[in-house]
Amino acid sequence: MNRVLHASDCLDILNDADKLPSQSVDLIYLDPPFNSNSTYNLPFKSRDRSLKPVEAFVDTWTWQPDDDERLSALAKNPKTRPLVAIVQFAREVESRRKKISLAAYLLNMAQRLYAMKRALKETGSIYLHCDPTASHYLKLLMDGIFGKKNYINEITWERTNRGHKGSQFAPRYYHTNTDILLFYSKSNSYVFHIDNVLLPYEDGYFENTYKYHDNRGAYSRSSPFNRKNASPRPNLCYEYKGFSAPWASGWTISLETLKKMDADGEIEIEDGNIYRKVRPRGGKRASNLWLFDHIGGTLGEERLGYPTQKPLALMERIIKASSNPGDTVLDPFCGCGTTAHAAEALGRKWVGIDISKFSTGLIQRRIVDNFAYLNRDDILVQGTPESVAEARALAQEDKFEFEKWVCGAMGANGMYKNPGEKGADGGVDGVVELPVIRQKGSKYESQTEYVIIQVKGGHVAPDSVKALSETVRRLGAVAGVMVCFREQLGTVENQRSKELWADAYKRYPVIQGFSIDQLLADEKPNLPPTWGFKHGGKTSAPQLL
C-alpha cells in the first residue's frame, strides 16, 4: 500500500478494511476543515474581475436530518459513547443562538477520528491540525478516542510573523497568527525521533551553553546528581569516591549507573557535586512552539493556489520526528498533496484521501512533476477516471466533476464558474501559472505567465475554439489549451489561431488542443519545460531520514 490517492469522503475509506487495512498506518496527519464558517475558493488573480472563483470547499456546518441517527449510532457503541456527551454539550452551548454548526462539525470529526484509530498501528501517532475555533472541543474528542494517557503535546505553529493589516480597524482583540497541532499516540510504544528535527543554534547559544571542554570536545553540565530528592530513597544512599549525598534521600541515580558513566568519561566532580557531561547534538531540540523562523508559512515556489496549503517544511518536521523510512503516512484530508510530497521525498510510503477530484488530480500531477523516477502509472488514483471510457462516463454523468478532474490533472491553480449557474464563464475552466524564462539583454529572467485551460467533455464547436483566442488576449495570458476527447482535436487544429509566443528558447502555439488520451498517458502540452516544475523541481531519489 503506497502512492495511493482516493477521491472520496475519507469516512468511506477509513471504514473500508479492504482499501485501508487495520493497523496498516504508522503516522496520520490531518488538516481538516476548522469550522471557520468560511468558504474557500480556488483562486486565480485574473485581470478580468467578472470571473467567479469555484469553491474548493465550504467550511460551514449545519445539523442535518440524519445527524440525530448518526449520533444515536455513536451512543450505542460503548467505545464512542463518551463522544456523544461532547457533541451534546456543543449543542447546548450554541442553543441560545439557535445554531448547532459546532455540534454538526464535531459529530463529523468524531466519526472520522474514531475510524482513523482502526487504521493506526500500535506504534503509530496522529497529528490533528486545527485552530482555536474548535481546538478545545477536538482535544476532548481525541482524549475520548485515543485516551488521555496517549496525549503527547499541543503544538503551536506560528504561521506568519507579519502584522495584521486590518488591526487598526479591529483594536479589541489580539491578532491571531498561529495554528494548533494536537499530537497523540495510540500506545506508549509510539515512534519518536526528536534528534531528527534539531533546530539551528541561536547566535551565542552554543558558546554560552557548552562552555566546558575535554578531549572529546565541548559539553555542558546537568543538574548535580546529589541534589535533594522529594522523598527518602535508602537504596540510593551510598558513598562514591569519598563523596556522600548530603541529603537523606540519597543520589538521583544508582551506583551501577554512576560507575558506568564515570568509566565512559561522562561525569565531572567539582566542589562535592557530581554532574553529567551533556554533549551537543548538532542543534537545539524542538519544543512545542514552532516558530515562523524555523517553519514559516511562506510557500514561495511551492504555492499551488490551494487555499489552505501548508509548507513542506511543516510536514517534513512531523514525518522526520514521528516515522521511520519505509513507514506509511496517511493524510485523510490531503488537499493539494503537501503530505504526500514530503513523504515521497523522505522515503516513506503514503496514502492520501480527498473528496475533491480536483485535489487528487492535482496531487497526482504534483508528484509526477517533482519526482523524476515516477510516472502517472506509479500512483494509484481510485475514484477518478483511469481510462478514456471512464472519462467519457464521468463527462456525461457530471460535467463539473469532469472539469474538476481535468483541471486538477493538468496542474491548474484555480477554476472558474460552477456549471448550472447563469452567466458565461468567459471561456475559462482552469488556469495554470507558468514560470517563463526570457532573455533580457545578457541576462535570463523568470516571470510568471498564465495559461488558460478550457475543458470540453463532448462536441467542440468551431466558434468555441475561436473564442479561446479572445479569452487569452482579454486575460493577458500567453496561451490557451483546449482539453477534449481525441476525435475533437481536428476541430481545434482547423479552427485555432496560428499565432505563436516565445520564451528564451523556442516558440509555442498560442492556442492548442490536448486530448484526454494524452492526459491519461502522462503526456504534456506543447509548453515550456518549466510547466509543472514550479513546486521544488524534479527529485531523483528519496531522502531517507
**Grid coordinates 485515543 are at which residue?**
146
The reply to whether 117 falls in a domain is yes
The reply to whether 241 falls in a domain is yes
- Say what the pLDDT of residue 49 is: 44
258 and 336 part of one domain: no
The reply to whether 177 falls in a domain is yes
The reply to whether 220 falls in a domain is yes
81-85, 120-124, 289-293, 432-436: least confidently modelled range: 432-436
65 and 165 part of one domain: yes
Note whether 253 and 275 are within 8 A (CB).
Answer: no
Confidence bin at 41 (pLDDT 50/70/90): very low
Confidence bin at 411 (pLDDT 50/70/90): confident
238 and 337 part of one domain: no
Confidence bin at 545 (pLDDT 50/70/90): very low
DSSP E strands in 289-379: the ranges are 289-290, 328-331, 349-354
Note whether 243 and 274 are within 8 A (CB).
Answer: yes
pLDDT over 90, % of the chain? 50
**Grid coordinates 483566442 are at which residue?**
469
More confident of the two residues 198 and 423 = 198
pLDDT digits (tens, 9 = 90+) for 212-227: 999 899 999 998 886 6
Residues constituting the chain: 545
293 and 420 part of one domain: no
Note whether 305 and 56 are within 8 A (CB).
Answer: no
The reply to whether 9 falls in a domain is yes
- Identify residue 27 by its one-letter amino acid code: L
219 and 310 part of one domain: no
Note whether 335 and 354 are within 8 A (CB).
Answer: yes
327 and 456 part of one domain: no
296 and 267 part of one domain: no
Q: Which of 278, 308, 327 is the last residue of a domain?
A: 278
Q: Average pLDDT for residues 42-63, to the nearest whole number?
A: 51
- Give the Cβ contact number of residue 415 at 10 Å: 30
262 and 246 part of one domain: yes
Q: Tell me the three state secondary structure of residue 475.
A: helix
Q: Average pLDDT for residues 250-261, to the nearest whole number?
A: 87
Tally of structural domains, the chain: 3
180 and 290 part of one domain: yes
CATH number at residue 13: 3.40.50.150
Strands 443-455 and 479-484: parallel
Using only the alpha carbons of the chain, give its radius of gyration: 28
- For the chain, count helices (H), then strands (E): 15, 24
The reply to whether 341 falls in a domain is yes
351 and 494 part of one domain: no
- Report pTM: 0.78
Q: Average pLDDT for residues 116-128, to the nearest whole number?
A: 98
Q: Which of 255, 278, 301 is the last residue of a domain?
A: 278
Domain range holding 118? Answer: 4-193+286-355
DSSP E strands in 456-510: the ranges are 479-484, 500-502, 507-509
90 and 156 part of one domain: yes
Mean pLDDT of the chain: 84
- Say what the pLDDT of residue 45 is: 36
Confidence bin at 504 (pLDDT 50/70/90): confident
The reply to whether 369 falls in a domain is no
Rounded CA-CA distance 334/331 in Å is 5
240 and 271 part of one domain: yes
Confidence bin at 444 (pLDDT 50/70/90): confident
The reply to whether 539 falls in a domain is no
- Say what the pLDDT of residue 47 is: 38
